Structure formats: C-alpha cells, structure tokens
Structure 1
Amino acid sequence: MTLQISLSEPREVRLARSGDAATVWIDGLPFPVRTRPDGGATEITIDGRREKVWVVTDRDTVFVHAFGRAWALDVINPLEAKLREGQGADSATAPMPGVLVALSTEPGAEVVEGQVVAVIESMKMQTEIKAPRAGVVERVPLAVGESFGQGAPLVVLASEEAE
C-alpha cells in the first residue's frame, strides 16, 4: 500500500520489510534501512550511520524524535481520508504520556486549525500540540505541570453543533 506523509507538503512513502531489513521509498527513491530494538527506541542504520529513533503514533499522526530533532508526520491513507471527510475532532489529545509544560489558550478563546495550543514534555523532548480544527475552546482539563497518559485530552473544543 502506498501512503502519503505530510510535513509541509505530502510525500509518497512505501515500505517493504523483511526481518530487521527494510527499504523505504520516498517519492520513488529507495533508502535501505536496518533496524533493531534499543530499549524504548529503535536503532536504525542508514548508509552505515547508526541513530536512535523514538516513534509514537496517535491515530494518523506519527511523532518521530531522531537526529536531535522532532517531527509530527501526518499519515494520509487515501481510502480512510475519503471515509472521514467532513468529520472534525473536538479535542487535541496527548500522543504519548508526559507532562504539560505550557498552555497557549484558555476556555472561551477562538483557535484556528493547526494553532499551537499546548506544549508537552515526554522522553525529555518537547512537542507542540496543535488544534485539530478551528473552534472555541470549551475546557482545558489539565494545569501546567500535571502529568497525563497517552490519549488524554489536553484542549477540548466546543462541538461544531454548539458553535
């Protein structure tokens, strides 16, 4: 199956895996990769270079921490995207367990899709949490400094019907 990963623009990505060896095609270019578990991370070897990679998924978003940087990748399955058209999420949820380190909104505030509404810390790395859609913040269930589990709502928007 071919999926798209969206950073600033969608990229076509395919993966073929056999044991600890894999080939990742990005926009038709092959990249041979070897992997092995390394604690809570995965060690990958690309062109003889070894790096630790942490990967956490939350629905169609994959959070990757590697090479001293962090990325949030939106995985777009064309069939699932077609089935979900018109459905909006009502909360920005935690992709992994952690601690809330900053809030940039409050109940009653209007937010736009993609606006940073919170910052969390997990695995000693900070991740920006963005509004899943435009709307009005209904509630913020946690205070800065509080811990949470994966999937916990961090910012809840009023339902689209209520707006």
Structure 2
Amino acid sequence: MKLKLRLNGTPHEMDIAALKPDLELRIDGRGHALRETGTTGALRHARIDGEDIAYHQARSGNRAFLHLGGRNWIVEFVDPRDAAREKVQGSGDIRAPMPGVVVSVEKQPGDPVTAGDTILTIESMKLQTNLLAERDGVLAEILKSEGDVFEKGAIVARLQEEEDGDA
C-alpha cells in the first residue's frame, strides 16, 4: 500500500518494502534501508543506507520534526481522510504544531506565497521549525510577532480564502 507523506511541504509516495532485518522503505520508487541503533540522551542514532547518523526528533500528531545533518525537516504523514477534508474546507489557517516562540517572520500580509514557502520560524524544545504555506495564495494576516509565545494548535498566520472561480 502506498502511503503519502510531505517532506518540508513537498508531497512524496512511500511504501514499506521489508521490515526485517532492516526497515526498507521506497520513497518515490527509490529504496532506503533504515535501522535505529540507539539513543544518547535526547540524541537518536540510526543507520540509513549504510551511513551512521545522529538526529533530534519531536512529534506532534502526524508530524515529525527532525534536526538532521544541520537542517530541520518536517515529515508529515498524510491521512487520505484529512487531505479530503482540507480540500473541502479550503482552510488557510497556519497553526502551530507544538507550543513555542516565534523566532522570525519571513512574510508579510499581502505577500503572494507558494505551497512550501516559509511564513514563520518557530522554536520549541530548542528545535527551530519553519511553518509553511500549505497552498498557493496571498498571506492575509500574521497573528504572532517575533518573540511571541503560543500554544499548540494556535493560529499564527492566515492565507486569504480561495476564490471559487465560478463567478
């Protein structure tokens, strides 16, 4: 069964090719071998495609926030039912996936945005995460400023509502 995921806002297809001896994933048709090898405090260790790596991870719902190789990654597993609901609702709300503080504001109201553009950068548990536009549109408002604290699920920015084009 093909699973859908978004990596930093970009959609990908993934399926599990094998569970043993290592987890083998195919992402967009390319195979990857993965084995978790342990932890040291908050640092996790794994072997991916024969290379030893260390990373930090935080989770919120169907999202995993990784700091790996000097970069931050958001991996979101897409539940097909959620994707269908989002299309019906057309929500332009950008919500905080975890409590934290705004580190920087990258866009301003009125700016055009493309799906995957960074709107704000937040910090939670010493992990900086970019909050991305989930669709193309125009930024309607930014509800938090640099230094503002927020709770999980708080709306931090909003895109203008989509027009139907049926008029």
TM over 0.5: yes
Q: Which is further off, 151-160 or 8-17?
A: 8-17
Matched residue, 1:51: 54
Alignment check: 8 A CA contact 1:103 1:144 kept: yes
- Which of 120, 123, 137 is 1:121 aligned to? 123
Matched residue, 2:35: 33
Matched residue, 1:5: 5
Matched residue, 1:158: 160
Corresponding letter in the other structure for 2:57: W
SS in 2 for 1:75: strand
- The RMSD of aligned alpha carbons is 3.6
Matched residue, 1:99: 101
Q: 1:71 Cα shift?
A: 1.2
How do 1:65-104 residues align onto structure 2 when only pairs under 5 Å count?
Answer: 65-77=67-79, 79-80=80-81, 83-84=84-85, 86-87=87-88, 88-104=90-106
SS in 1 for 2:87: coil
Corresponding letter in the other structure for 2:130: E
Alignment check: 8 A CA contact 1:91 1:131 kept: no
Confirm whether residue 135 of structure 1 aligns to residue 137 of structure 2.
Answer: yes
Residues in 2 aligned to 1:51 and 1:38: alpha-carbon distance in whole angstroms: 9
Corresponding letter in the other structure for 1:154: V
Residues in 2 aligned to 1:3 and 1:69: alpha-carbon distance in whole angstroms: 24
Taking only the aligned residue pairs, the percentage that are identical comes to 28
Unaligned residue ranges in structure 1 (runs of 5+)? none
Q: TM-score, normalised by structure 2?
A: 0.68
1:55-102 CA-partner distances (Å, limit 9, x unpaired):
32355x43222343221224344x437734733222112222221111
Alignment check: 8 A CA contact 2:57 2:64 kept: no
Structure 1 residues 25, 159: CA separation in 2 closer, same or farther (over 3 Å shift)?
Answer: same
